[in-house]
Amino acid sequence: MPNPSQQIIRLGLGFAVSQALRVMIELGIPDLLAAGKQSVNDLAIDTQSNAEALYRVMRLLASEGVFKEIQPRHFELTELSETLRSDRPGPRDLIHMLNSEAYQAFEQLLHSVRTGRPAFDEVFGSPRFDWLSEHPEQAALFQRAMVALSQGSNEAIAEAYDFHSFKRVVDVGGGHGQLLSAILARNAHLSGVLFDLPAGVAAARQGVGGELPRTDFISGSFFEGVPSGDVYVIKKVIHDWDDERAVVILRNCRKAMLPNGKVLVAETLVPSGDEPNQIKSIDVVMLAVTGGLERTQEQYESLFGAAGLRLDRVIETRGPISILEASSV
């Protein structure tokens, strides 16, 4: 069993694995191995890489179960690397995004810890979402990464909440439209509004997140206002922002909401205790990249109160995401 020093060293070397995964994605190695085992020499020729360097990186990932070296210098896919194929739904785009500009920002995590402000702004000269609006290729990757991150959670939200008493659902910051598509597919009586910045609306119009019948596509900033409706869904949006700006979003929903309406915030809650949980890692990424944060139930309840809303209940889903239902005070 590793001693404490060895365990700490392993944790400290985590960046090597994350960047190795990015390199495999950019070289297309999982796609090349989809047909079966190949030698490193052949893979190096196909990817215009140095065979010895490629072998060393693949050997590292094989030690983590990402590939399997079935004979010397010959590799095949495992269940883990199957998820990185471009023709399979999976975390490929999310891994790629996290280990690109977000990774560069994370190198300055100390800046965020000392100031409480996102390191991304310091490294790239502008806030994350402003930067994405000026870099369409990375914005498109971000939208694909959000699709990957949302796998299973959209359907879980759509089936966990009863929308029968509502008529018009507004997906605030709906991006690719995957959640709204799932809700409308289950609720033929509903009309929908996909509300986001132009890049998100464009992705939704292209069908990135699925079919969107009975839907109005509206571009705008949720800091300035939101369209009228009787139920608002806000999934993985509030966590992008600090408390002050999160309250602005929620308050704008309350102001535009029809009588007896509801605001549904779908987020992964930070659990208490010291047990490992992926959301705690994501929370620190939010600190460095967007300035947002993952929150506990109590923190969300406080946000609602500041926005003139009341937390009515928390609905668990079959996925690692909860629905926090709120109404006007």
Q: Which residues are catalytic?
A: 239
Q: Is 112 helix (H, G, I), strand (E, B) or coil?
A: helix
* Residue 241 Cα to chain centre, angstroms: 14
Dist. CA 284–CA 292, nearest whole Å: 9
With 0-12 CB in 10 A as exposed, 13-18 as middle and 19+ as buried, what is 267? buried
Going 172 to 176 to 182 to 185, the CA torsion angle's sign is positive
CB atoms within 10 A of CB 187: 19
Amino acid, single-letter form, for residue 175: G
Going 93 to 140 to 194 to 86, the CA torsion angle's sign is negative
What is the number of residues in the chain?
329
Give 41's contacts (C-beta < 8 A, 6+ positions apart). Answer: 51, 73
Amino acid, single-letter form, for residue 95: I
